[in-house]
Amino acid sequence: MPDAQLGDFVAIREVGPRDGFQNEPEVIATEDKVRLIDMLARTGLRRLEVTSFVRPDVIPQLADATEVLARVDVPDEVSVSVLIPNERGLENALPLRDRFQEVNVFLSASETHNRRNVNMSIDESLAGLERVVPRAVAEGLRCEGVISVSFGCPYEGYVAPERVLGIAERLIEAGCVEIAFGDTTGMANPVQAGELLAAARERLPSVELTAHFHNTRGQGLANVLAALEVGIRSFESSFGELGGCPVPRGATGNIATEDLVSMLHEMGYPTGVDLEALLAAAREAQRVLGRPLSGHVIVAGPVDWHDGR
């Protein structure tokens, strides 16, 4: 079994309370969201994306963003982030500034996906974010720029790495200190993932680089391995494999956090996460939603090597 170098820590941002809950067909009760977030905050995860300040008529599943953020009980060592779509979203979030430390802003790497997702061109989105990010930074907030469909677009197909990296550079110039490359509809393969992320490490050395893989075609963890091999040590995932993308249909969930943690631990990469506590949160989400979730470790349980490994 290949072991990571001692101290080769992998950071994980749990995005299920935002990316996962927003894609559920039914609105989850606020008290259930708060309880699940509080459970996740006690698993050893150090980064939680808890909600998004989007228009409630667009994503009613997150209409309770203010109440959720006000009610969650998150330990001081856990960094809370919220997704901010635009200037209005930031204005709505700032009255609760003492409840979160990071904001995540986003746009797509393809024109068609960006228009279908936010009804703007890439340049229009960037112009807006170039106003949002400096204002957030001035408030003392850490900013992550998320680039959706970085590895392929269901409408346009191939997305040139040069376009993705050019968008990343503009986000960095605006003040983002972390860039996440989103495989939003699960089109990445390990060779492609490794090539893009290796190029990003060479071209963007001054910021944290994060991979955000979906498991639509069952290649999510293989893509994680490719990312690890080129030096990526930051990932986003969703407990229970919750999530997806509202456009297009058929784009299923993020890689499951419990599957990611299990694999990393088996390979010798520390994460600081208590896998059993994480599984308890995923099973509680399963109970709240009233259906089986699609993560693997939630069914099979962690590997038990006994004494002879």
List the catalytic residues: 245
Alpha-carbon distance of 256 to 254, in angstroms, equals 6
* Terminal Cα-to-Cα distance of the chain (whole angstroms): 9
> Which residues touch 131 (CB under 8 Å, ≥6 apart)?
87
List Cβ<8 Å contacts ≥24 apart for 3-10: 3/267, 3/268, 4/267, 4/268, 4/269, 4/270, 7/270, 8/233, 8/268, 8/269, 8/270, 9/233, 9/269, 9/270, 9/271, 9/272, 10/228, 10/233, 10/234, 10/235, 10/264, 10/269, 10/270, 10/271
Phi/psi at 294 (5° precision): -100, 5
Q: Which amino acid is at 54?
A: V
Q: CA torsion sign, 250 to 220 to 169 to 92?
A: positive
Q: From the CB of residue 194, how many other CB atoms can be counted at a distance below 10 Å?
A: 19
Chain Cα centroid distance, residue 240: 13
Alpha-carbon distance of 214 to 39, in angstroms, equals 23
Place of tokens 């997704």: 83
Comparing C-alpha atoms, which of 201, 58, 199 is closest to residue 117? 58
Q: Collapsing DSSP states into helix, strand and coil, what is residue 56?
A: coil
